[in-house]
Amino acid sequence: MSLLSNTATLLGKELRTEFRSRELLTTTVVFILVVLILFSFAISPTTEESREFGPGLLWLAILFAASLMLQPCFLREQSNDTLSSLRLAVDDPFAIFLAKLIANTLFLLLTEVLMLPLFAVFYNIAILPKLHYLLLVLFLGSFGISVAGTALSAISAQARMRELLLPLLLLPLLTPILVVSATVSVSLLDREPIVQWQGIAFLAIFDLVFLTALWLFGEYLLEE
Amino acid sequence: MTKRIIFAAVSILLVIAGAYAAFFIAPNERSMGVVQRIFYFHVGSAWAGMDAFLLCFIANLLYVWKRQQKYDSIGVASAEVGLVLTTVVLITGPIWAKPAWGIYWTWDARLTSTFVLWLLYISYLLLRSLIEEPERRALLSSLFGIFAFIDVPLVFFSIRWWRTQHPSPVIMGGPGSGLDPTMNKVFFFNVLVMHVFALFLIVERYILEKTKNEVDILQREAEAQ
Q: What is the 3-state secondary structure (H, E, C) of chain A?
A: CHHHHHHHHHHHHHHHHHHHHCHHHHHHHHHHHHHHHHHHHHHCCCHHHHHHHHHHHHHHHHHHHHHHHCCHHHHCCCCCCHHHHHHHHCCCCHHHHHHHHHHHHHHHHHHHHHHHHHHHHHCCCCCCCCHHHHHHHHHHHHHHHHHHHHHHHHHHCCCCCHHHHHHHHHHHHCHHHHHHHHHHHHHHCCCCCCCCHHHHHHHHHHHHHHHHHHHHHHHHHCCC
The beta-carbon neighbor of A220 closest among B119, B132, B143 is B143
Q: Total domain count for chain B?
A: 1
B16 touches chain A (CB under 8 A): no
pTM score of the predicted model:
0.89
Min distance B66 CA to chain A CA atoms (Å)? 12
Judged against a pLDDT cut of 50, whether residue B175 lies above it is answered with no
Are A173 and B151 inside 8 Å of each other by CB?
A: yes
C-beta contacts of A86-89 below 8 A and 24+ residues apart: A86/A10, A87/A222, A89/A6
In a domain, B40, yes or no: yes
B144 touches chain A (CB under 8 A): yes
> What is the pLDDT, as a whole number, of residue B118?
94
List CB contacts (< 8 A) between A215 and chain B: none
Judged against a pLDDT cut of 60, whether residue B138 lies above it is answered with yes
Domain ranges of chain A: 2-221
List CB contacts (< 8 A) between A172 and chain B: 116, 119-120, 123
A148 touches chain B (CB under 8 A): yes
A206 touches chain B (CB under 8 A): yes
Q: B168 with B92: CB under 8 angstroms?
A: no
Q: Given pLDDT bands bounded at 50, 70 and 90, which one contains residue B163? A: very low
List CB contacts (< 8 A) between B146 and chain A: 213, 217
Residue of B nearest to A221 (CA): B140
In a domain, B37, yes or no: yes
A88 touches chain B (CB under 8 A): no
In a domain, B187, yes or no: yes
Q: Which of A97, A158, A164 to mutate: most B Cβ within 10 Å?
A: A158
Q: Which of B71, B114, B140, B157 to mutate: most A Cβ within 10 Å?
A: B140
In a domain, B171, yes or no: no
pLDDT digits over B4-46, tens only?
999 999 999 999 999 888 888 888 776 777 778 888 889 899 9
Q: Given pLDDT bands bounded at 50, 70 and 90, which one contains residue B169? A: low
Within the 56-75 window of chain B, which residues sit less than 8 Å (CB to CB) from chain A?
64
Are A217 and B139 inside 8 Å of each other by CB?
A: no
The beta-carbon neighbor of A175 closest among B140, B143, B155 is B155
Average pLDDT over residues B165-179: 54
The residue range of the domain holding B88 is 2-26+33-164+178-224
pLDDT tens track of chain A, all 224 residues? 688 888 888 888 888 988 888 888 899 999 998 998 888 888 877 877 888 888 888 999 999 999 988 988 888 888 778 888 888 888 888 999 999 999 999 999 999 999 899 888 888 888 888 888 999 999 999 999 999 999 999 999 888 888 889 999 999 999 999 989 988 898 888 888 888 888 899 999 999 999 999 999 988 988 87
In a domain, B169, yes or no: no
The type of residue at B181 is: P
pLDDT digits over B74-119, tens only?
999 999 999 999 999 999 988 888 887 888 887 777 888 899 999 9
CA distance B92 to B109: 17
Residue A109: CB partners within 8 Å, gap ≥ 6? Answer: A138, A139, A142
Identify which has the larger pLDDT, B57 or A188: B57
Are A172 and B119 inside 8 Å of each other by CB?
A: yes
Query: Is residue A48 packed enough to be buried (19+ CB in 10 Å), middle (13-18) or exposed (0-12)?
Result: exposed
Min distance A19 CA to chain B CA atoms (Å)? 31
Give the C-alpha distances (Å, rounded to integers) separating B97 from A12, A119, B29, B91, B111: 55, 39, 15, 10, 11
Q: B32 with B110: CB under 8 angstroms?
A: no
The beta-carbon neighbor of A172 closest among B123, B140, B150 is B123
> What is the pLDDT, as a whole number, of residue B166?
52
List CB contacts (< 8 A) between B148 and chain A: 173
Judged against a pLDDT cut of 60, whether residue B177 lies above it is answered with no
Min distance B123 CA to chain A CA atoms (Å)? 6
> What is the pLDDT, as a whole number, of residue B165?
47
The beta-carbon neighbor of A220 closest among B64, B158, B162 is B64
The beta-carbon neighbor of A179 closest among B120, B123, B158 is B158
Instruction: Report ipTM (2 d.p.).
Output: 0.90
